[in-house]
Amino acid sequence: MTAAGTPKMRKKPLSYVISHRHSLCTLALDDSHNIQYIAHDPYVKERDYKETELTRDLNEAVSNADVLIFATNHKPYYNIDLDDIRNKVKKEKPIIIDGRNIFNKKSVEDHGFIYRKLGEGPKNYR
């Protein structure tokens, strides 16, 4: 563990998402979208991260987004103001893909998002 309380291999969960990001996003969006990927991590330094654009500013990362993918379970993500985030995304029905079981599905949906959790099959979405 590092001083910030994150594993040394903190990019490992994100590696899968980065390598499969196009297929994850195209499941949610049609081919007409010009997809831009912006990663947010409050602990990773830009010099240590080369996969996509990186920001420490959550507002910048979510601004005008269609899909939000949460691949790490950093403590700040548990306190996200979903109303505030909802006002910053651009899509009428934005999507949250939760890879770390951070959010309560009902709460996310009550805030106007489509919620998908990695590792759960379609039976959980009826």
Residues of the chain with pLDDT under 50: 1-11, 27, 29, 126
pTM for the complete prediction?
0.70
Taking only the tens place, the pLDDT of each residue in 17-34 is: 556 555 555 545 455 556
Domains, the chain, with CATH or none: 12-125 (3.40.50.720)
Taking the C-alpha atoms of residue 64 and residue 90, their distance in angstroms, rounded to an integer, is: 4
